Amino acid sequence: MLNGIKSIRGFALVALMAFGSIAQAMVLRDDRQVEVTIAKPVQRIVSLLPSLTETVCALGQCQKLVGVDRYSNWPESIAKLPRMGGGIDPNIESVVAAKPDLVLMATSARGAERFAALGLTVLALEPRSHADVQRVMRIVAQALDVSVAESDRVWRHIDAAVNAAAQSVPAKAKGQRVYFEVSAAPYGASESSFIGETLQRLGAGNILPASLGPFPKINPEFVVRAQPDIIMVGDSNFADMTTRPGWQNMRVMRTQRVCHFKSEESDVLVRAGPRMDEAARLMAKCLIDKSDASKVNDKLRGQP
């Protein structure tokens, strides 16, 4: 009789443990439209996309990162983490050796099938719009067992800061037509890109229509014909601009209405992630006239 009771208790304990394991499992749909099962609480993460690295940290989960791609450089706390290649050339061996519970990567990156074949859990996400930033943040939060309420709180802070940047732009600075160069091929950011969305929220125009796609390759003559009021570009691309046919004679170049950003600022501007509010502030500062700079800077700092 006693042995029978022990057997029943043992069976109940095993059943309870099994039920707990099932309860912990989570199924998420990523941007490949693949259903990804998170079988156990995530403690070790490899992130192979800077915006996803930043999202993990914005959700307060930086300590779970055990490896990142070569371009992830924010926040400073990740500086000493192992670098595991990039989107087009992930270091498969290094990622596997890190024994991650979860690999975060872009849908356009290589290696997802190989990682899965080696038994790793892969969540492929690629935010391309403001709405995507919020959506991806929610999915990552779910994967890391962070509450939806916390994810939404982080998003509201970002969105409110973008609105504050927009309100800081004086009326006379709105409506200016911008050419935003992403890379020197040249590729630009159109109205349909997340950068274009930010410019629109700031009240700026964009010489590149949405019909060209988010980040189209541009014939330099297109920009000359469009005659933008402002050019936004990274330092590394700026030097090349003066050698392009007709560019030296553009009004925007003659009047020096070109904002060229430092490399660390360019990183902020071209990543669809939790530092989108900082990107909005950088663009707002560019849009305003120099005479209004001190007044707008006070607003951005929250001063009266």
Judge if the upstream peptide bond of residue 220 is cis by omega within 30 degrees of 0.
no
pLDDT exceeds cutoff 60 at 20: no
Residue 251 burial class via C-beta count within 10 angstroms: exposed 0-12, middle 13-18, buried 19 and up: exposed
Strand spans (E) along 39-121: 45-47, 65-68, 102-105
pLDDT exceeds cutoff 50 at 290: no
Nearest to 28 by CA among 153, 135, 152, 156: 135
pLDDT value at position 37? 97
**Residue 168, phi then psi, degrees to nearest 5:** -80, -15
How far is Cα 286 from Cα 260, in angstroms, rounded to an integer? Answer: 9
Beta carbons of 144 and 196 less than 8 angstroms apart = no
pLDDT value at position 299? 54
What the block records as the tokens of 132 is 């995507």
Beta carbons of 39 and 77 less than 8 angstroms apart = no
Average pLDDT over residues 115-130: 97
What single-letter amino acid sits at 210? Answer: A
pLDDT exceeds cutoff 90 at 283: yes
pLDDT value at position 240? 87
Average pLDDT over residues 93-106: 98
Q: What is the pLDDT of residues 128-137, one digit of tens each?
A: 999 999 999 9
pLDDT exceeds cutoff 90 at 289: no
Beta carbons of 80 and 28 less than 8 angstroms apart = no
Q: What is the mean pLDDT of the chain?
A: 90
% of residues, the chain, pLDDT over 70: 87
Residue 181 burial class via C-beta count within 10 angstroms: exposed 0-12, middle 13-18, buried 19 and up: buried
pLDDT band per the 50, 70, 90 thresholds, residue 24: low
Instruction: Say how many C-beta atoms besides its own lie within 10 A of residue 88's C-beta.
Output: 10
How far is Cα 296 from Cα 303, in angstroms, rounded to an integer? Answer: 10
What are the respective helix, strand and coil percentages of the chain, to the nearest 5?
50, 15, 35
pLDDT exceeds cutoff 90 at 239: no
Containing 261, the helix (H) or strand (E) segment is: strand 258-261
Which residues does 230 contact at the CB level (< 8 Å), separation at least 6?
Answer: 176, 177, 178, 179, 204, 252, 257, 258, 259, 286, 287
Q: What is the pLDDT of residues 34-91, one digit of tens each?
A: 999 999 999 999 999 999 999 999 999 999 999 999 999 999 999 999 999 999 999 9
pLDDT band per the 50, 70, 90 thresholds, residue 13: very low
pLDDT exceeds cutoff 70 at 255: yes
Of residues 110 and 301, more confidently modeled: 110
Q: What is the pLDDT of residues 157-209, one digit of tens each?
A: 999 999 999 999 999 999 999 999 999 899 999 999 999 999 999 999 999 99
How far is Cα 12 from Cα 127, in angstroms, rounded to an integer? Answer: 45
In this structure, is the dihedral angle defined by the CA atoms of residues 253, 256, 258 and 264, taken in order, positive or negative?
A: positive
Helix (H, G, I), strand (E, B) or coil at 182: strand
Of residues 91 and 15, more confidently modeled: 91
pLDDT value at position 300? 52
Instruction: Say how many C-beta atoms besides its own lie within 10 A of residue 223's C-beta.
Output: 23
